[in-house]
Amino acid sequence: MDHSNYEIDEMISAKTIAARVESLAAEISECFADTDKLVVVGLLRGSFVFIADLVRELDLPVEVDFLEASSYGNAMESSREVRILKDIRGEIEGRDVLVVEDIVDTGYTMHHVLHLLEARNPAKLRVCALLDKPSRRETDVKIDWTGFEIPDEFVVGYGIDYAQRNRNLPYIGKVRFVK
């Protein structure tokens, strides 16, 4: 199939996302209410919009750090081999950490990242994913907060790309290929 020509159908509106981000932030703020300074680790690049909105709704002192992992062999299918392209800058030993991801799909990326961070002995390590595709899971990963569960569709927008495009859409849409 020719993958160059596609249309995007809106799946989750900007308004719906904003409302969900607000409620996630309230739950997360409550969970980390006793934390001195939470380390929020965004996984690049897909989480950059989500993390920007989420941290601004958190009623907590936060430090923001980023980690870049790569698992994508091509634009649409995970290679299942995760490489760390950029590590976080800060020390997390004894700290409370929240990993923020755009989508958990097969789960290999999150599994690998959690393994890496866990080895550094954080006090608390929790995960917030904007989207989850449970039907695609191939590994066992625990997600503490999920924005939305979605079916097995390829999605873009709100930070999420298809071949580095469409990250700047304010909503989440599904990709539909056309002839």
46 near ligand IMP (CB under 6 A): yes
Query: Among residues 96, 102, 105, 132, which one is catalytic?
Result: 105
Please confirm, yes or no, whether 96 is among the known catalytic residues. Answer: no
Q: Which does 132 bind (CB under 5 to 8 A by kind): ligand IMP, Mg ion, none?
A: none
| Distance between CA atoms of residues 85 and 83, nearest Å | 6
DSSP character at residue 153:
-
Comparison of 5 and 74: residue with beta carbon closer to ligand IMP:
74
Residue 21 · residue 147 · CB < 8 Å: yes
String of contacts with ligand IMP for each residue 127-156, x by CB under 6 A: ---------------------------xx-
CA distances 39 to 15, 47, 75, 137, 165, Å, are 27, 15, 30, 27, 29
Sheet of strand 155-156: strand arrangement? 6-12, 172-177, 155-156
35 near ligand IMP (CB under 6 A): no
Other beta carbons less than 10 A from residue 103's beta carbon: 24
DSSP character at residue 167:
T
Q: Which residue from 42, 46, 157, 173 is in contact with Mg ion, where contact means CB under 5 A?
A: 46
| Distance between CA atoms of residues 173 and 157, nearest Å | 6
Part of the chain binding ligand IMP (CB under 6 A), chosen from 33-41, 91-99, 102-110, 118-126: 102-110
41 near ligand IMP (CB under 6 A): no
**Which residues participate in catalysis according to the annotation?**
105
Residues that bind Mg ion (CB under 5 A): 46
**Interface with ligand IMP (CB under 6 A):** 46, 71, 78, 101-110, 154-155, 160
